[in-house]
Structure 1
Amino acid sequence: MTSLFDSYRLGELTLPNRTVMAPMTRVRAAAGGLATPSMATYYAQRATAGLIVSEGVQPSLIGQSNPGTPGLHTDEQVAAWRQVTGAVHANGGRIFAQIMHGGRVSHPDTTGLRPVGPSAVAAVGDVFTPSGPRPAPVPRALETAEVPEHAHSYAAAARRAVDAGFDGVELHGANGYLISQFLSSNANLRTDRYGGPVAHRIRFAVEAAAATAEAVGAHRTGIRLSPAGTFWGVEETDVPELYAALLTELARLGLAYVHLEATAEEEVLVGLRRAWPGTLVMNPALPMGPKQAGRDEADHWLGLGADLISFGRGFLANPDLVERLRTGLPIAPADERTYYQGGDAGYLTYPAHQHTA
């Protein structure tokens, strides 16, 4: 049986194990969306992962969702990221940048701009702003002629990511952000070529992935998806049909991987594994859900055909997670109070396991 600690060939990379550090928002960037020395230390501490996927990185100012997040749309941001990728590589690791356009999940207090989305339908819930949580505003619906610009913003950010030293990129197509909004049947009420039937609702995701693969190579391009997820109030009808159609189109592009979250019934996810001919990364735990994934969940999904297993909270609190999983050491819990508070506490202060004589 496949082991979590077997090596794996991903594009032009050889991963020493099949663990992936999942993307996690940590809002520790400096003003101007710049990566910091603390971010370099944080990622370098976790370089034993087979692959690290960074926190969500905005491809444009209007694509920024939360305050305190990093970007990849200015030369200064590219330069700042080089300290992060350099530190990860110096520690023997591999790192992809997750490119995340927030779409309607944003606020003018954060960006100075009115958010955009497929339709003028507000997200459900409060969004983060510099002055605290505020109700999600109604976004401006994108004109048909504008949509390709936002699809191609992922590709532009991907070029900058490679320039900054990243080994590749992951498009954030999950959790109610812009790609997910286009896939949705209640956030996307369009009647043009980007809305309505399944073939139209998948178009934005396919165009973003195709542009990115053309820009930096399909072997450097992955995408994360949350089938049937309801984050920020999105709903999806015809989930098996929707994602089977999307994976069929993405397969033509030869992407490095698809990264699925456990947001749908296992039967649906196993069906998508069969529909996807390439590398599948599986996150066995519901994001922000009650249960944190461990070795048992990883082995279960490897047995169901996943190639790589991603862990979020496990890597947050355990920089040596791979060794803890390998040897059966306890997995330390993360302190939720420090997720988004800024600073190094709850960021650089989680220790590796201390062995006692």
Structure 2
Amino acid sequence: MTIGGTSGILNNSEIGRFTTSNRIRIGTATTGPTSDGMVGSSISATSITVSEALTIGNSDSTFVFDSSGTTTLSANTSSSGHIRFDDAVNLNAAVTVSGRTIWFSSTVDGGHALVLNADLDLVFLGAVGGTTPLSSLSATGGPTSHSFSHISLHGNVSTNNGNVTFTGAVILNGDVTVSSGDGAGNISFSSWVNAGFGHSLTLDAGSGSVTVSGAMGNIKEPGSSVTKLTSLTVSGGQIDLNTVATTGNIDITGTNIDLKGGTYSSDDGNIAFRGPVDLHANVTVNSDANSAGADGNITFTSTVNGNASGRTLSLKADTGAVELKGDVGGTTKLASFTVAEAGQVGLKIE
């Protein structure tokens, strides 16, 4: 079935008539109440192609793409209501999808740019770019002012040397790897990243930059407890990180690493900064945050400097080892440097 514009089998004016009954489901063979009890209309289809720009629904409507095959997006799709893709989605062109909420129940693939603008929740239940990496992804949703709205990631996200941008709060509902390829594609998060029920996060930007503007793994939402990441692995060129909390390892590799949060902590894992580090705040690194169990090591493989005078650095490893392989304060002096606890300390001596 081809939809969109005025030339499709189902055109915009016809879609408007269907969505007055709250829900239209393209792809099912029945008409009447949907499985979740909402009254709506259904049209049978073995596959769906959006061939021209498609505008659908009102603020209370939900449009569901659910054929026995796949949905191919060749043009923009927008709604003041809700959009849900129960099909696997293939991109056949650069596409923008806008809606009150946007839900992908399966995978998203295709070597094109995808822009998503959700007023509230934006949900990915499957991998994005897992078979054919996208050229870029810009995902907006989950405004930080709305505690229960998020960008929800259940699977990995991949682009072919293109930027990956998340604007809004992100929650992990699985172990997630975000990769922008081996080239100069950048990865950025505008807000915090919640670990869900405890998941790992890997960010691989190749030679591109990684920017996380909000805290990672230590977010408390109303009615829930703080959940830490199980581990965090970051690699790229320029790395900018806010506060991090994990139960396991923190491993950061970059041509330059800017620490812009106050605390980088793991319950028992190793913490390693592999590249020159600049402190943009007074920083504490703690590899024994739970004060129990095995204690992780803390390693800086290169220099550590303040981005301005007056910065402080405190390291706490309990029985773990602390090793600094480069100069500390050699370019911009720190106000203080403290190893509060460590089983062994290794410092560069010239």
Task: Give the shorter-chain TM-score range.
Answer: under 0.3
Q: How high is the TM-score relative to the length of structure 1? A: 0.26
Q: Counting strand residues as a fraction of each chain, which structure ranks higher?
A: 2
Q: Counting helix residues as a fraction of each chain, which structure ranks higher?
A: 1
- Structure with more relative contact order (C-alpha pairs < 8 Å, separation 6 or more): 1
